Each structure stands twice: as C-alpha cells, then as structure tokens.
Amino acid sequence: MTDDSHRFTTMYDECRQRVWAYVVSQAGRQVADEVVSETFAIAWRRFDDVPDPALPWLLGVARNVLRDNIRAEIRRESLAAELRAWTEEDHADWVAERLAVVNALASLTQEERELLILVAWQGLSPRDAARVIGCSPAAFRVRLHRARKRLVQAMKTAPVARIQSRVRNLSEEWS
Amino acid sequence: MNPMEQLRKARPAHLDTPVDEGTRAAELNYAMAQFRQAKPARARKIAKPVWGLGLAGVAAATAVAVGVTATGGTTPAPSAPAVAAPQGEQQPAVKLSAKQVLLVAAESSLKAKAGSGAYWHIVTSSGNAQQVGTKVQYTVNSLGRSETWIARSPKVDSWWVSQNLGTKPAPGSEAAWKQDGSPTTWTVKVAKRGGGKLLIDSKGGKPFGNPINVGDKIADLAGTNVSFAELQTLPTTAAALKARLMQGYAGHGTESDEPQDADAWLFQVTSGVLSDMPVKPAVRAAAYKVLAGLDGVRSLGEVTDALGRKGQGIGRAESWPNGQYERQLIIDPETGLLLTDQIVAVHAGGQWAGAKPGTVVNYNAITKAEWTNNKPVKP
C-alpha cells in the first residue's frame, strides 16, 4: 500500500488547494474544510476509480459532498458570508472594476456562478468543467454562453459608482 | 475587455490560502484511515515516481534488512531485489510491508551509539480527543506536554513534569465548533456510576511535576517495576526479548483488568519500550523485530503525525470494550526513532462515540529522546 499512499499524498498536495477554492466559491469558508476532508476520504476509498488528471473528478465528488452532507440552510448562510467577503476584502484595493465583476457574479444564480467559476477561476476546460457538473460538453457550452451573457448584463446594469456606494453601505451594515 | 478575462482577474486572493500543516496532516490521516474499496484486477497508471530522494535510502536499507548484499552502496535501484519489480513500462514502485518497515527500523536502531549521560530525557506532546457539542457533535483535543528525566544513577531521583496546554477543536472540527457558538468550555459525561460530568476548559495550566522513582525502580516494564540497571540487561534477540516481556502477561491489560489478547498486549508493551525506555540500541532493534513478528500488523505507508512530521506508519486493529480502534506507530525508518504512538477510531463507542472513523482519539508524539547531563527542570 506504500506506493498508493505516496500517490495519494501527491494527488492531495496537487489538488487540495484547488478543491478547497472551489468549495469556498460555492459555499464559503465555514464549511470548506469539512467538505474537503470528506472529499479526500472518498477519494481514498475509491482510489482505484480516480482518473488522471484527478482534479475534475475530485471537484465532482466535492460537489456531491457539499450537496449531501451540508444542510442547505448552513450552505446558504456560509455562502452569503463568503460573497460579502469578496467585496469587502482588500480595502486598500477596492478597484471599481473588480467590484463590478464580483457584484455581478454574486447577483447570478448558483448554477450560472458555478459554470463561470469553474472556467475562469479554476481554469478548467469546458470538457473538464462539464465532467464536474455531470453534463455533456455540448450542453456545458450552451449553458456557459448563457451565463456569460448574464454576467455581462449584470455588469452593465450595476454601474460602478452605485456599486461602490452599495459596498460602503454594506460594510457599515455589517461592521 | 473580454468578460471572462475580467472575471479571471477578479478572483479573490484568499482562494489561494495554502493549507496549514496541521489540517493537511489531519486530512491525510483521516482519508487514509478509510477502508479501501479494492479493485485488485485493474492495473493503475503511476503518474509520478513513487519515492522521493529521502526515501531512496529506505529502499537501500530494506535490501540490507532482508539480507541482500548491498555493500556500502547508496544507489538503491540495482541492489534492491527485495523491492517490488517494476510492472511493464511503469515507474518502479517500492512497496514496504509493515514487516519491512519494522525490520528497516530495527536495522537503523543499531546505528545509534549507546548513550552516556546522567539522564535519559524524553519530551512528548500529547492529544486526547473528547466528543463534545450541544447543537452539533464534534471533537476537541486536550493537548499536553510532558518531560521525563530518568536517572542513570540509582541514588538520583528521576522526574516527570507535565503541563496541560489547553483544549481546542480537533482539525476538521472548527466549523462545527463555530456552529456550536465557539464555546471555550465544554461539559462531557464520564462513565461513572450515577453519571459524572467533566468540565473541560480551553485554557491550559501551569506545569507540575514530581519524582517518579520508587527507590531504584524507574519504569513499569510489562507490569513490573524495574531499575535502570535491569533495563540494561534486557535480551537483545527478538525471541528472548519477547519471552522476557511475555512473563508479565496475565491475560488482561497493563492498566486494567479488561481482558486483552496476547498479541495486542505485546504490541503495546513493546511499543512502550521503544517510546520511553533507556535501553541499548540492540534492545530497540530486538523490540522492532518482536513487532515485525506479530500477525495482523498492516503498513499504512508514509503518514504524517499530529505534529506534521512524516514517517512510515504501521497499525494493528484493537478491539476494546468501547469500540474498534487501530493502534498506530509512526516510525522514522532511517533513524529507527518512534515518532508517534496513537489510537485511531475505526468504530468508536463509549466516550468516543460519534468520532468519525480515522479520528486520532489519543496520540503521544515524541519530540526528544536523548541522553543529557542537564538536571531536570522542576516547576
């Protein structure tokens, strides 16, 4: 089993960060460690099934763990806190454009956000991203196209100045 | 600008927060304590060379330990027929069984010099899990540090100093702890007639200590108090050491009257020799060989202990009145040092009921074990 433990540890070291980042972007930091821990436990149990590269497979498992193991209510709360953090962190660096993008992203549906994040933040190919969410690459492209359009719309309808003041209000509200 | 490009640039920096070493160790331990769903028939592609540079030495040592000639060479590949042969065009994979790990550790133990010094000084970090929580169930670890000075001279006191370092959520339990309202004290039920309660505080305490010797006796070996001089006369072959230790076996545990089978008992007592006792290098080697001769010991491969140190793990299933556990030893095969002795939940019950499989319910990590002329630091 020694070589398996080594390969597993190598896989963990290569992918843990990205699995965690994916879970955080889907459901926030509060639940991320728990989901990641469970994801790799499943990966060890089913190590013989893990394809190479492992990342899309691991993200798919994390997605299921998140859905099955974490109560929807906790998921929502944790995600809300996360979305707030995206607009509040780096106070010195409140670049208007970044805020516009992040706010637009936050205004999309969970599904739209997930598609965009898998491609833009996780750097997955549409093919690998399709594997994560369990649809065909063709269906993924259609959905991604739609999500992209929705993002652009959301960025247009939320002018930068208004977002900045909204973020200020939000940060006062929560401080 | 392309909206996807804009989105890519807006990625929050904290998503790149690296995992801390403690979480990494806990997650790997938890994962690899799971039962594998074996699919033996399918060949797997090995993505990376299995052995890092440091472990090449282990491979070489394995060859020595199993009696293959390897005269001073440090290149493992040509001189390591004991090691699994490469399959097809794959990278060579070295498989160390539990027995091999233990025999390598035995071999390495002999490299240590017999010590001189007034005291055998041991420093350990420990953790003991408790299941707590009101809204949600989770695990906290009560942490401690202890130092022991065992005097060589029968006329000098041996000392033990211990400090409670406080209690905190176990790795992986932080979210549940927050959900429970981030308490700093916990109440747990203890198995006592009438139902006792124990209050656990997150705060640690001051060190306290006391002499541990009873006359010239300084340690409990297999149920009998022994002196430093007696420890020096322990047998240096596995068979003789095993026979000597087994004299103390009476069908029950060392600290209780609970029945315990002979192999589990021997595993525990022999581990004790390796973790705290000032014995000759040849006795340590013999102790590793005693463990290598036991049935039911499995290899865990490379594992990381609670302090983040890597070693080769071996484990043996143990059945207790309060559930199924695995006793694990994490060993540095290149030095023969025992890094950590720990108990891991398999199907936990009793005070650990609810602990997830793979939870380390108790660990003792040895951070120092060496001879010194420095006197005990008494609190």
Instruction: Choose between B338 and B52: higher pLDDT.
Output: B338
* Phi, psi values for residue B284, rounded to 5°: -60, -45
Mean pLDDT of the A107-113 span? 88
Mean pLDDT of the A84-111 span? 75
Percent of chain B with pLDDT over 90: 35
Q: Does residue B56 have a pLDDT over 60?
A: no
Mean pLDDT of the A68-87 span? 82
Mean pLDDT of the B350-372 span? 89
pLDDT at residue B59, rounded to an integer? 33
pLDDT digits (tens, 9 = 90+) for A18-43: 999 999 999 988 889 889 998 998 89
Mean pLDDT of the A116-139 span? 89
Asked if B112 has any chain A CB less than 8 Å from its own CB, the reply is no
- The average confidence (pLDDT) of chain B is 78
pLDDT at residue A48, rounded to an integer? 81
Which range, of A68-72, B53-57, B141-145, B154-158, averages the lowest pLDDT? Answer: B53-57
Sign of CA dihedral A50, A53, A56, A59: positive
Please report residues of B whose CB lies closer than 8 A to that of A42: 34
pLDDT digits (tens, 9 = 90+) for B289-299: 999 999 999 99
pLDDT digits (tens, 9 = 90+) for B174-186: 999 999 999 998 8
Question: Are A41 and B31 an interchain contact pair (Cβ–Cβ within 8 Å)?
Answer: yes
Instruction: Choose between B253 and B262: higher pLDDT.
Output: B262
Q: Does residue B287 have a pLDDT over 90?
A: yes
Please report residues of A whose CB lies closer than 8 A to that of B27: 12, 16, 36-37, 40
Q: Does residue B81 have a pLDDT over 80?
A: no
Question: Are A44 and B36 an interchain contact pair (Cβ–Cβ within 8 Å)?
Answer: yes
Question: Are A3 and B95 an interchain contact pair (Cβ–Cβ within 8 Å)?
Answer: yes
Walk me through the domains of chain A, giving residue ranges and CATH numbers: 2-72 (1.10.1740), 92-174 (1.10.10.10)
Instruction: Choose between B64 and B25: higher pLDDT.
Output: B25
Mean pLDDT of the B64-92 span? 32
pLDDT digits (tens, 9 = 90+) for B221-234: 887 788 899 999 99
- Work out the pLDDT band at A146, boundaries 50, 70, 90: very high
pLDDT at residue B92, rounded to an integer? 38
Predicted model pTM: 0.53
Please report residues of A whose CB lies closer than 8 A to that of B179: 30, 74
Please report residues of A whose CB lies closer than 8 A to that of B176: 34
Q: Does residue B316 have a pLDDT over 60?
A: yes
- Work out the pLDDT band at B196, boundaries 50, 70, 90: low
- Which residues 6+ apart lie within 8 Å of A164 measured at CB? A94, A96, A99
**CA-based angle B278:B123:B20, to the nearest 5?**
135
Percent of chain B with pLDDT over 70: 79
Q: Does residue A160 have a pLDDT over 60?
A: no
Question: Are A52 and B47 an interchain contact pair (Cβ–Cβ within 8 Å)?
Answer: yes
Mean pLDDT of the B50-77 span? 30
pLDDT at residue A12, rounded to an integer? 93
C-beta pairs of B313-322 under 8 Å, 24+ apart in sequence: B314/B98, B314/B101, B314/B102, B315/B98, B315/B344, B316/B263, B316/B264, B316/B267, B317/B346, B318/B264, B318/B343, B320/B258, B320/B350, B321/B258, B321/B350, B322/B348, B322/B349, B322/B350, B322/B351, B322/B352, B322/B353
pLDDT at residue B67, rounded to an integer? 27
pLDDT at residue A170, rounded to an integer? 42
Mean pLDDT of the B36-55 span? 33
pLDDT at residue B289, rounded to an integer? 95
pLDDT at residue A6, rounded to an integer? 82
- Cβ A128 vs Cβ A68: under 8 Å: no
Q: Which of B7, B28, B34 sits opposite A151 (nearest CB)?
A: B7
Q: Which of B23, B31, B176 sits opposite A44 (nearest CB)?
A: B31
pLDDT at residue B47, rounded to an integer? 25
Burial tier of B116 (Cβ tally within 10 Å: 0-12, 13-18, 19+): exposed
pLDDT digits (tens, 9 = 90+) for B317-341: 988 778 899 999 999 988 899 999 9
Which range, of A108-117, B46-55, B124-133, B139-148, averages the lowest pLDDT? Answer: B46-55
Chain A nearest C-alpha distance from B96 (Å): 6
Q: Does residue B168 have a pLDDT over 70?
A: yes
Question: Are A48 and B37 an interchain contact pair (Cβ–Cβ within 8 Å)?
Answer: yes
pLDDT at residue B349, rounded to an integer? 83
Q: Count CB pairs under 8 A between chains A and B.
A: 145
Which range, of A52-66, B30-44, B132-146, B302-316, averages the lowest pLDDT? Answer: B30-44
First to last CA, chain A: 51
Chain A residue nearest residue B44, CA to CA: A48
